[in-house]
C-alpha cells in the first residue's frame, strides 16, 4: 500500500517553544491511523500541520517537510491543499445555516452552482455520513436544531462533500454521548474504504477498535508507530507499554 501523506523530520515551534521534535511518520492510504498520547503531547498540533491550519497562528514555525502524494504541502496553494485534506473538529461547528447549505458550502466555494449537481453531491455526502435518513425531509432547517451527534455527522458530511483524499479527525467523538460515539466509529470504518483517515483520540478503546495503525506521541516526540494490534499487545518501547497498560489497567 502506498504512503498518502508523510511527515519528514518535522519539528514545530510556537515562538521559542518547541512543540514537536523531529517527527517522521508515513500515513498509508485508505487506512485509519490513530494518534494517541497524553494531553499536551502534541497530537492536535501534529494533525493541524497536515492541513496547514497552524499557519493561522502568528508565531508558528515548521522545520522539515510534509508531503502529500510526494509533493511538499508548502509548495502548493493552501486552499487547494485544504480541499484535498479535510478536517473534522473536536466540537461540532456547523455554520449557522441550513443543513443543505452547510454541506454545500465547500462545493459552492469551488464554484459549483448547478442546483442539481449540488443536490446530488449533498445527498451522497449525507448518505455516506449516515445522516441522510434523519434529515432528508428537513434539509432547509437550521443546522443548530440537530443534536450534538447529528451535528458532528453533519460536519463529517460537510467535509467529505468536497471529495477530499485525506480526512483529519481531531477527537471527533469526545463531545458526544456513547450512542453517538459508536455511530461515528462505525462511520469511520465505512469511510476508510474511500478516504485516508488520520484520527487523533485520547480514547484508547476507540483507537483499538477502529484504527489499522497507531502512532504514540509523548511530549512532542513520536515514540512508536506500528500496526494497531502490535502497539496494544506487544509494544516495543517501554513508554508505550506504560501508557497503553496504564489506560487498560
Bridge partner residues of 193 (DSSP) = none
CB burial of residue 174 (10 Å; 0-12, 13-18, 19+):
middle
Q: Site for other proteins (CB under 8 A): which residue of 19, 41, 87, 231?
A: 87
- Contact predicate 197/184, CB 8 Å: no
Grid cell locating 65? 517537510
What is the rounded CA–CA span in Å between residue 66 and residue 89? 21
Grid cell locating 147? 443534536
The minimum distance between CB 37 and other proteins, in angstroms, equals: 22
# chain residues binding other proteins, by CB under 8 A: 27
Bridge partner residues of 65 (DSSP) = 8
The minimum distance between CB 42 and other proteins, in angstroms, equals: 18
The minimum distance between CB 232 and other proteins, in angstroms, equals: 30
What is the rounded CA–CA span in Å between residue 51 and residue 79? 9
What is the rounded CA–CA span in Å between residue 168 and residue 86? 6
Is 109 or 189 the residue whose CB approaches other proteins more closely?
109
Would you tell me how many other CB atoms lie within 10 Å of the CB of residue 101? 19
Binders of other proteins among residues 135 to 154 (CB under 8 A) are none
Grid cell locating 177? 454521548
Q: Is 117 in the site for other proteins (CB under 8 A)?
A: no
Q: Site for other proteins (CB under 8 A): which residue of 109, 117, 127, 189?
A: 109
For cell 517501554, the residue is 238
Q: Is 89 in the site for other proteins (CB under 8 A)?
A: yes
Grid cell locating 99? 443543513
Contact string (CB under 8 A) for other proteins, positions 150-189, x = contact = -----x--xx--xx--------------------------
Q: Is 106 in the site for other proteins (CB under 8 A)?
A: yes
Q: Site for other proteins (CB under 8 A): which residue of 2, 79, 117, 189?
A: 79
By residue count, the chain amounts to 249
Is 55 or 229 the residue whose CB approaches other proteins more closely?
55
- Binding residues for other proteins, rule: CB under 8 A, are 51, 53, 56, 58, 77, 79-80, 82-83, 86-87, 89, 91, 93-96, 105-106, 109-111, 155, 158-159, 162-163
Amino acid at each position: 500500500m502506498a504512503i498518502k501523506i508523510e511527515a519528514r523530520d518535522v519539528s514545530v515551534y510556537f515562538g521559542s517553544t518547541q512543540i514537536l521534535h523531529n517527527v517522521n511518520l508515513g500515513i498509508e492510504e485508505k487506512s485509519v491511523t490513530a494518534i494517541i498520547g497524553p494531553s499536551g503531547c502534541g497530537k492536535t498540533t501534529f494533525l493541524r500541520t497536515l492541513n496547514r491550519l497552524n499557519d493561522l497562528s502568528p508565531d508558528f514555525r515548521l522545520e522539515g517537510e510534509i508531503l502529500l502524494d510526494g509533493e511538499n504541502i508548502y509548495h502548493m496553494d493552501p486552499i487547494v491543499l485544504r480541499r484535498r485534506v479535510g478536517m473534522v473538529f473536536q466540537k461540532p461547528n456547523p455554520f449557522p445555516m441550513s443543513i443543505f447549505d452547510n454541506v454545500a458550502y465547500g462545493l459552492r466555494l469551488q464554484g459549483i452552482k448547478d442546483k442539481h449537481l449540488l443536490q446530488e453531491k449533498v445527498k451522497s455526502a449525507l448518505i455516506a455520513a449516515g445522516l441522510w435518513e434523519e434529515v432528508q425531509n428537513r434539509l432547509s432547517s437550521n443546522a443548530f436544531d440537530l443534536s450534538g451527534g447529528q451535528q458532528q455527522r453533519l460536519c463529517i458530511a460537510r467535509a467529505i462533500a468536497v471529495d477530499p483524499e485525506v480526512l483529519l479527525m481531531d477527537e471527533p467523538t469526545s463531545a458526544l454521548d456513547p450512542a453517538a460515539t459508536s455511530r461515528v466509529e462505525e462511520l469511520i470504518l465505512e469511510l476508510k474504504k474511500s478516504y485516508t483517515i488520520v484520527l487523533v483520540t485520547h480514547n484508547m478503546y476507540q483507537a483499538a477498535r477502529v484504527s489499522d495503525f497507531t502512532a504514540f506521541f509523548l511530549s512532542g516526540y513520536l515514540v512508536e508507530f506500528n500496526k494497531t494490534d502490535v502497539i496494544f499487545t506487544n509494544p516495543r518501547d517501554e513508554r508505550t507499554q506504560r501508557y497503553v497498560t496504564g489506560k487498560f489497567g
